[in-house]
Amino acid sequence: MAGSGYTRPPPPPPLGEGAAPAPSAALYVANCGPAVGLTHDDICAAFAAFGEVAGVHSADGSGVRVIVRFREPAAAEAAMSALHGRPCAGLAGRVLHIRYSVPAKPKAPVGGSLPVATSASELGVPGIYLVPDFVTAAEEQELLAAVDNRPWKSLAKRRVQHYGFEFLYETRNVDSKQFLGELPPFVSKIIDKIMSFPGANKCTSKLVDQLTVNEYPCGVGLSPHIDTHSAFEEMIFSLSLAGPCIMEFRKYPKGSWRAPSMVSGTDKDSIEEPQCIRKAVFLPPRSMLLMSGEGRYAWHHYIPHHKIDDVGGQVIKRNTRRVSFTFRKVRMGLCDCEYGQFCDSQSNVLVYL
C-alpha cells in the first residue's frame, strides 16, 4: 500500500450478496512480488503489455502481494481479463490472483489532532500542576516492586490495589466507615514530598488518606470522568510510573452532560460526545500530577486508549504497562464547592463516564 493510495479489497461477497469493488485503474495482485523472486521492475514490464503503468507498490509486508496502478482503467481491465487465474509467461509462469484494488482510507494522526502540552503552564487548565521526575528511577523501581509483592484485584481491563479506603466502582464512591488501615510505609516519602505542592500547607488534617494503584496494560486508558465530589476532597495527586501516557482534560458546557454506562466495574466511553473544550498534557514516567480547584472539580480527565501517542510530532510508544499511584483525601461530609453543575452533593446529575 505504501505510496500507492490503494489497498487490499475486502473479501469477495457470497454469490448474490453485495457488490465486488468497482473497476479501477489499480489492481491487487497476489502470488507476485520480491519474496517469490519477482522485482517490481519485472512486474511493471509484464503489466506494461496492457497499458502505461503508473507504479508498482508492495500491498503489505508479505512480499508476495503488490498493487499495480495503470494510467487508465481500461488497461487494468485488460490485464485482469488476460492474467487473472492464468500463468503469466513474463513472470516465470506464476499463476496470478487479481482483484480490483480499493482506495486506502487516510490514516488519522497518531493520538488525534489535539496539541499535547508538556507542562502545566502550557496546558492552561486552572488548578492543574505537573512535576517531572518527582521520584528517581531507583525509587520508581522500589515502588513497583512493593506493589508487585502485594495482591492485585482484576477489573475488566486493568488491575488495582486500594489502601486506606476501597474505591467502589459500582457507585464511584467510598465507604468512609470501612477503614482499611494507614497508608503503607513504602509511600511515606511520597506523602512527605507532596506537601510542597501549592495549597498543601493549608490542610489542617492529613493531606491524603486513600491510595488507589492502577496498572494499565499497553493500549488501555481511562474513560472521561470527574472524581466524585462527595467522595474526595479538593486535592488529588497522581504519580505515573513505568510508562508514559497522554491525559486529556475536557470541560463540557452547561446542560450537556449525560449519565454513564457502567460495565464490569469500569467506565465505558459514550458513543456520542457533546461539545467540549479539550486540552491534553503528556505525563512522563516518574511525574506527579496535582488536580485541584477548577481542574479537579469542573474538568473531566481522560486517558485515550492508545498504544502510541503523538507529542509535538514525536511518536512515543507506550510501555507494556503503566502504573499510577493516585492519592486522595476521603470527604466525610457534603461538598459545597463553587462548581455545582458538576457536584453530586449539590445536584442529582451524574458527572462521570
Q: Which of 17-21, 298-302, 346-350 has the highest mean pLDDT?
A: 298-302
pLDDT for 203 equals 60
Residue 313 has a pLDDT of: 80
pLDDT confidence band for 173 (50 / 70 / 90): confident
Indicate the class that CATH gives domain 116-256+275-342.
mainly beta
The pLDDT score that the predictor gives to residue 107 is 52
Of 171-180, 197-206, 281-290, give the lowest mean pLDDT range. 197-206
d(CA 87, CA 339): 73
Better pLDDT: 202 or 155: 155
Tell me which residue has cell 499510577: 324
Give the span between the Cα atoms of 252 and 250, in whole angstroms: 6
Average pLDDT, the chain: 85
What are the grid coordinates assigned to 46, written together? 509484464
What pLDDT is recorded for position 91?
Answer: 95
The yes-or-no verdict on residue 192 having pLDDT over 50 is yes
Checking if the pLDDT of 76 tops 60, the result is: yes
Give the fold, CATH level 3, of 23-103.
Answer: Alpha-Beta Plaits (3.30.70)
Please tell me the predicted confidence (pLDDT) of residue 273.
52
pLDDT at 12 (0 to 100): 66
Task: Please check whether residue 321 is in contact with residue 283, taking contact to mean a CB–CB distance below 8 angstroms.
Answer: no
* pLDDT for residue 340: 86
Top-confidence residue, 6 or 306: 306
Q: How far is CA 80 from CA 62, 74, 94, 102, 226, in A?
A: 22, 10, 15, 15, 58
Task: Identify the pLDDT of residue 253.
Answer: 75
Residue 343 near residue 187, CB atoms below 8 Å: no
103 band by pLDDT with thresholds 50, 70 and 90:
confident
Write down how long the chain is: 353
With pLDDT > 70 as the criterion, what percentage of the chain qualifies? 84
- Return the closest-CA partner of residue 10 out of 122, 101, 130, 146: 101
Give the other-Cβ count within 10 Å of 153's Cβ.
Answer: 12
pLDDT at 234: 93
Q: Is 349 helix (H, G, I), strand (E, B) or coil?
A: coil
> Residue 23: what pLDDT?
82
User: Which tops the pLDDT comparison, 172 or 88?
Assistant: 88
Answer whether 211's CB lies under 8 Å from 204's CB: no
Contact between 116 and 37 under an 8 Å Cβ cutoff? The reply is no
pLDDT at 255 over 50: no
The pLDDT of residue 353: 38
Question: Percent of the chain having pLDDT more than 90?
Answer: 61
Could you tell me where in the chain the CATH 2.60.120.1520 domains are found?
116-256+275-342
What ranges in 209-284 are assigned the alpha helix state H?
Answer: none
Distance, C-alpha 240 to centroid of its chain: 16
- How does residue 202 score in pLDDT terms, banded at 50, 70 and 90? low
Q: How confident is the model at residue 61 (pLDDT cuts 50, 70, 90)?
A: confident
- Are 109 and 82 in contact by the 8 Å Cβ rule? The answer is no
| Residues of each domain in the chain carrying CATH 3.30.70.330 | 23-103
Q: How far apart are CA 128 and CA 20, in angstroms?
A: 53
- Mean pLDDT on 3-15: 69
Is residue 335 classed as helix, strand or coil in its secondary structure?
A: coil
Backbone angles phi, psi at 35, to 5 degrees: -70, -15
pLDDT for 66 equals 92
